[in-house]
Copies of this chain bind each other. A is one copy, B any other.
Amino acid sequence: MSGDLAILAGRGAMPRALAEAYPQALCVAFDGVETDLPRAGAQHGFEAFGALLDDLKARGITRLVLAGGVGRPPLDPGAFDPFMQALAPRLLAALQGGDDALVRLVISVFEEADFAVIGAHELLPDLTAAAGLLAGTEPDEAARADITRGREILAALSPLDVGQSAVVDTGIALGIETQQGTDAMLRFVAETPANLRGTGGVLVKRPKLGQDLRVDMPAIGPETVRGAAKAGLRGIAIAAGQVVLIEREALIAAAQEAGLFLLAEAP
């Protein structure tokens, strides 16, 4: 039974995947956040966070999962309930940091209210990949070098709470993920003039070093593969056990069809 579980739904495919795997769980949507859920549940606004906590308790919820990012929904301080008014100073401080800082605050607030916040990867262990080649042919030396460079770029940015993915083509960085997400970055890379391109390139996607995977788990899906193919890449390298595979079979089929390798590397 999962009647004590609430899925706090953000963007992307994660809310639906979780809601389908946990049919008893309460789905919670938020004003101003587009989401994709298979069934109705509760609807809340971030301005009335106190009401959200009360509602969850009244429904007997004890465990929460944050499913997908919510970006920075517009907040109307004039509409803050007393709970949010009291939270305002911590909220302001978190807003100075990256997105993770904000979600870490949200996790703290839930934990202080005695909810257990669990990671999507704990609820859906099959969603991530074991180390190994999932599709395509083993990356050659050039692709391996691009993967290494992509990992170096992400590692350098990790302490700044920036970057969950990067594209490197023949030694040259063509894309570093910012707030707009992986798909937007891949569209940007696809527009790169041919004279700035190398021989293909790879997408590297992994959590930030030390990232709390309950915060916002990196994910790839068939759309990511199609975006990578349109961007002329040769493959995708992810961190084993730490990147969610959305629609795993369709994803792997898409990679095979596009001739892309999909490699899960040890974290």
A-to-B contact residues, CB < 8 Å: 32, 71-74, 95-99, 145, 149, 152-153, 156-157, 159-160, 162-163, 167, 169-176, 178-180, 184, 188, 191-193, 195-198
Is A95 within 8 A of B192, CB to CB? no
Is A178 within 8 A of B173, CB to CB? yes
A192 to B72, CA, bound (A): 12
Is B171 within 8 A of A160, CB to CB? no
Would you give the shortest CB distance from A45 to chain B, in whole angstroms?
14
Given A96-B145, A171-B97; A178-B179 close (CB under 8 Å): no
Would you give the shortest CB distance from A247 to chain B, in whole angstroms?
24
For A149, give its contact among B160, B169, B179 (CB under 8 Å): B160
Chain B residues contacting A97 (CB-CB under 8 Å) are 171
A169 to B179, CA, bound (A): 10
Chain B residues contacting A193 (CB-CB under 8 Å) are 71, 180
A173 to B202, CA, bound (A): 22
Chain B residues contacting A162 (CB-CB under 8 Å) are 153, 173, 176
A178 to B197, CA, bound (A): 12
Is A176 within 8 A of B176, CB to CB? yes
For A173, give its contact among B96, B98, B149 (CB under 8 Å): B98
Is B180 within 8 A of A192, CB to CB? yes
Would you give the shortest CB distance from A153 to chain B, in whole angstroms?
6
Which 10 A/B pairs are nearest by Cβ-Cβ distance?
Answer: A176-B176, A173-B178, A162-B173, A156-B156, A71-B196, A96-B171, A179-B196, A188-B188, A172-B179, A174-B178
